[in-house]
Structure 1
């Protein structure tokens, strides 16, 4: 088998793996709304839990359900959302408490209806946002830096990830989040991180054990000096690896990389002509 055929075979296996790890049945979910705007995809099994808690959701109708229908403004909603998240955690439905707030919103540039503890976002199937960055090594030989998630992470522990990846908290934006995560996860100075090139958005919608990952992933590339070696500063990365496209394809084909990082990585390899991946 030629190298080109080998790359094609591996990328086909990777794409099949993404599909297998990304099921989503709309009929098993309700559109979660606030003031008529969709902010999430709530699993029906979670809707039943919320209905039993009283006042958390309205009656179901036309495939949708309203979140906190009795709250008329953002301050009241924030108080109720804080209580909801804590109740869900106490009941064992939410794990990996972060002490970080995510926006309850229909879009990144919309005024949020409220904020909630990040750990509860996927239970509700909320629309969330993340920044992911491919660390491209400068030089004649194609190479990237990737990172392995800490085994202590609540989500996807021990899996390979982009060099830098992080959720966008309420009040932040994708580039601001990226620059901060670059420093914390890989020791990349802010001046260098700010040079990251934006390469569009990848939408992820899939069922996961916690609920639903409905995430808008902002993809970036950053050219790193050939002598740069990343180092973690926040304990969330177990190791970094300098790897070529072929070895990276093998990692992704083995489903050892997270779904969102796989999509961001494949996009970079395709754009740079390092893998036979259809757009």
Structure 2
């Protein structure tokens, strides 16, 4: 028997819920240290204890409290985001120099932002280091589809088999992480050109914003590198209806191929566990929005919808373009 839709959602949103089992949730947190920044009373992420033990923390800018299980970036009271980012970057560079963590071997040269209360931008850090600190990351995913006499079909890519993360699994048509100062729509435009060779003008003209999906994921071996790292994420969701002449093609080395699959074919691939976990979530969200999953045909409908929109326990940011 294959995986149910709820199985897939729970596989992605797999960090425990306090409301489900308070004792278990509290016990689970003993495996982590809380990531904080001086001057801000907020949990910015959870760092696995084994990471805390191995990381080359500089005593000049980090305070480790083993009793309270906190790791605090210590910066001057007048520190700005640039200074905080510099301190973090120096520490990460030392971890790279000492080859402390496998995840840091997948250097992306992209910066992910860290936000404090009220969405204040506090600092940014190298993308591949973000799971070590357990910070909230942001991304944009788009489902491209066509409709013909046979019904709706979805363009589904297969990830390159030499990728560090989730090699060979199925993905959403276009997807990518949002770097510091990047807005969701501009991210999806960039990724559509880079990953799927889709013309910018067509994407700008027809792409429709469809909300977001949120979850808190604990990484397993498929993610590449250390396991047990917490990766809370916000994924902005977009749809793009294509004509039959517009065919996504790999534009970089991250995608092996694109295939046009019917809804039953996508559902079967989901049940076989062929999709990257968060991409399965995005696909299930697409099925709900387009009426393929309904309260009448899905017994776990309410639980699925709730789990696709987890309220994260960290400060988050608005990406409203002002």
User: Does TM, scored on the shorter chain, surpass 0.5?
Assistant: yes
User: What is the Cα deviation at residue 55 of structure 1?
Assistant: 4.4
Q: Which secondary structure does the structure 2 equivalent of 1:113 belong to?
A: strand
Q: How many residues align?
A: 269
Q: Which secondary structure does the structure 2 equivalent of 1:75 belong to?
A: helix
- The aligned counterpart of 2:158 is 148
Out of 4, 18, 43, the residue aligned to residue 13 of structure 1 is: 4
- The aligned counterpart of 2:85 is 78
Out of 68, 72, 81, the residue aligned to residue 67 of structure 1 is: 72
Could you tell me the TM-score, scaled by structure 1's length?
A: 0.87
- The aligned counterpart of 1:31 is 34
Q: 1:63 to 1:161 in 2, by over 3 A?
A: farther
Whole-Å Cα distance in 2 between the matches of residues 153 and 56 of structure 1?
34
- The aligned counterpart of 2:245 is 227
Whole-Å Cα distance in 1 between the matches of residues 59 and 272 of structure 2?
44
Q: Which runs of 5+ in 1 are unaligned?
A: 1-8
Tell me the alpha carbon deviations over residues 222-267 of structure 1, each in whole angstroms, 9 at most, x when there is no partner.
1111222111212211111100111111111111111111111011
Q: Is the 8 A contact 2:145 2:155 kept in 1?
A: yes
Q: Which secondary structure does the structure 2 equivalent of 1:160 belong to?
A: coil
**Pairing 1:123–2:132 present:** yes
Could you tell me the TM-score, scaled by structure 2's length?
A: 0.76
Whole-Å Cα distance in 1 between the matches of residues 68 and 199 of structure 2?
47
Q: Is the 8 A contact 1:95 1:154 kept in 2?
A: no
Q: Which runs of 4+ in 1 moved over 3 A?
A: 20-23, 50-57, 59-64
Q: Which secondary structure does the structure 2 equivalent of 1:143 belong to?
A: strand
Q: Is the 8 A contact 2:36 2:43 kept in 1?
A: yes
CA RMSD in angstroms comes to 2.4
Tell me the alpha carbon deviations over residues 59-95 of structure 1, each in whole angstroms, 9 at most, x when there is no partner.
4389662432135412321221211222222323122
- The aligned counterpart of 1:41 is 46
Whole-Å Cα distance in 1 between the matches of residues 292 and 128 of structure 2?
36
Whole-Å Cα distance in 2 between the matches of residues 193 and 271 of structure 1?
20
Q: Which secondary structure does the structure 1 equivalent of 2:248 belong to?
A: coil
Tell me the alpha carbon deviations over residues 32-69 of structure 1, each in whole angstroms, 9 at most, x when there is no partner.
22222332222222223347553454243896624321
Q: Which secondary structure does the structure 1 equivalent of 2:65 belong to?
A: coil
Q: Which runs of 5+ in 2 are unaligned?
A: 16-27, 221-225, 306-322
Out of 167, 171, 174, the residue aligned to residue 157 of structure 1 is: 167
